Structure 1
Amino acid sequence: MKTTMYINNEKFIAGMTMKDHTEPELNNMALHVCIDPEEVLQNRRKLAANLNIDVKDFVCANQTHSANFYKVTLENTGKGAEQLETAVEGTDALYTYESNVLLTSFSADCVPVLFSHEESGLIGAIHSGWQGTVKEITLKLFEHLKQEERCSPENFHVQIGAALSQEKFEVDEDVYLKFKNLGYMEEFMYFNDQTGKYHIDNQLAVKRQCERAGIPAEQIEIDRKCTYKSPDGFSYRQDRKSGRHLSFIMKK
């Protein structure tokens, strides 16, 4: 099973599953876009075994490209892990203080954000497609964690996972204007005269939102693998029926 491991130390484990031609459904991890749910569950169980946990330790959300976030407690363990119907409803970011709970984010071009807070032990997973970035889900969650959870921003460590590259993320003027209107995205966009399209770097846009929340740039890592161009990537732009990566983080 192909998995990119971002963190694996005595405190935290974090990574992102990749497309794998040797696994059922190419290692698709999403129940909401699959041919056979049992094959997806088989993939999830294999990942769980590799992480020395049970699939019932997963917490999954029903992602809706919102700016909503949810604080996970032990009672939420297993939500969406084996059934779509039990997933956390209408949210695109999860965070928790609990140990041995695997927070997840599903993507196929969108930007996954995994983070930990060294001081408090808090962890989180964000799904930020272009709509989530325009709605500032990452910035809003970090502001919430600073104010409500009293997390100092300088103690966050952030991993931005593989996503659609700027070269392949082309949009029309309506989407460009949504980014432009945020007032701090201009340097992450360019116009292609030949195609009449705008190109946006959503990963750097999300990184900027982390920085605006006060997180030091040197504590933000980015996996620049393009989900469209890489043979290990699931890309919705390339294939509307594509499977999904699962980005995950857990406190040990």
Structure 2
Amino acid sequence: MKTKLYIDNGQFQAGITLKTEMEPEKNNMALHACVNPNDVIENRRNLAVSLGCTLEDFVCANQTHSSNMQKVSLADKGRGAERLDTAIADTDALYTLDSNLVLCGFTADCVPVIFYNEVKGLVGVIHSGWQGTVKEITRKVFSHLQQAEQCDPADFHVQIGSSLSQERFEVDQDVYDKFKALGYADEFMYYNETTRKYHIDNQLTVKQQCELAGIPLEQIAMDTTCTYDSPSGFSYRQDKQCGRHLSFIMRK
């Protein structure tokens, strides 16, 4: 299985690609972290076929661990799909009100957030590594959508994708302090006396940000697969040369 589908309800289709030993570059989907760009493009084309669309329907961003978001439209079709220099610059969240656009996010331990709003026909993806989490990118996106797009938080459905587990995400005091400063992440952290490291649950912190944004708990799903421990996971912490998962969502 090369893809895990999270949502496939006729109107919305969303999921995450998986590391697969038999595929070129193990099914790596990232042009910014690859050996052969043509292999990545071929992997993306195969994904497009499985989704019943073409690679030209993809929209990708150059992610920078920012809290920047971008509204995209059909005019952005194909950006970043085959070339890095056409991707949406310096952006870690994409959303659209247009159908038949595949919004893409890339991760290898960071938390992918995929969401849709049935009432507005709006879909989006967020890349929230620990830096994005302490910048509260997820909370900012939903706040923006409430104000700029008149979305009701109660209408959002969120899927938090697989990422680095709390057990594997060990950090020093400086990162702990940043999470501590959020004021609501204390219960998602613990200190290991033996290693003198802090362990943080980035997923649950992001989930908390969704709840603080007003999204009903029962409309937030979470894939707790650890990208470090799973054979189908790309983990930057485990291998600095690893590929990337592609999280996607499309409204048909």
Paired letter, 1:165: S
Q: CA deviation at 1:122?
A: 0.4
Tell me, in whole angstroms, the C-alpha distance in 2 between the residues paired with 1:6 and 1:32. 25
Tell me, in whole angstroms, the C-alpha distance in 2 between the residues paired with 1:219 and 1:212. 13
Paired letter, 2:223: D
> What SS does the aligned partner of 2:41 have?
helix
Q: CA deviation at 1:10?
A: 1.4
Aligned to 1:31: 31
Q: CA deviation at 1:36?
A: 0.3
Paired letter, 1:132: G
Paired letter, 1:199: H
Asked if 1:173 corresponds to 2:173, the answer is yes
Aligned to 1:237: 237
Tell me, in whole angstroms, the C-alpha distance in 1 between the residues paired with 2:207 and 2:187. 13
Tell me, in whole angstroms, the C-alpha distance in 2 between the residues paired with 1:181 and 1:57. 40
Q: CA deviation at 1:73?
A: 1.1
Aligned to 2:197: 197
Aligned to 1:137: 137
Aligned to 2:188: 188
Q: CA deviation at 1:148?
A: 1.0
Tell me, which stretches of 5 or more residues in structure 2 are unaligned? Answer: none
> What SS does the aligned partner of 2:39 have?
helix
> What SS does the aligned partner of 2:94 have?
strand
Q: CA deviation at 1:49?
A: 0.5
Q: CA RMSD in A?
A: 0.5
Aligned to 2:119: 119
Q: CA deviation at 1:90?
A: 0.1
Tell me, in whole angstroms, the C-alpha distance in 2 between the residues paired with 1:152 and 1:185. 25
Tell me, in whole angstroms, the C-alpha distance in 1 between the residues paired with 2:215 and 2:147. 14
Number of residue pairs the alignment of both structures matches: 252
Q: CA deviation at 1:118?
A: 1.4
- Write out per-residue CA displacement over residues 180-234 of structure 1, whole angstroms, 9 at most, x where no aligned residue: 0010100000000000000000000000000000001110000000000000000
Paired letter, 1:93: A
Aligned to 1:88: 88
> What SS does the aligned partner of 1:66 have?
coil
Aligned to 2:98: 98
Aligned to 2:154: 154
Tell me, in whole angstroms, the C-alpha distance in 2 between the residues paired with 1:135 and 1:98. 27
Report the identity percentage. Answer: 65
- Write out per-residue CA displacement over residues 52-78 of structure 1, whole angstroms, 9 at most, x where no aligned residue: 100010000000000000000111110
Asked if 1:61 corresponds to 2:44, the answer is no
Q: CA deviation at 1:102?
A: 0.1
> What SS does the aligned partner of 2:119 have?
coil
Tell me, in whole angstroms, the C-alpha distance in 2 between the residues paired with 1:87 and 1:53. 19
Tell me, in whole angstroms, the C-alpha distance in 1 between the residues paired with 2:148 and 2:54. 31
Asked if 1:76 corresponds to 2:72, the answer is no
Paired letter, 1:59: V
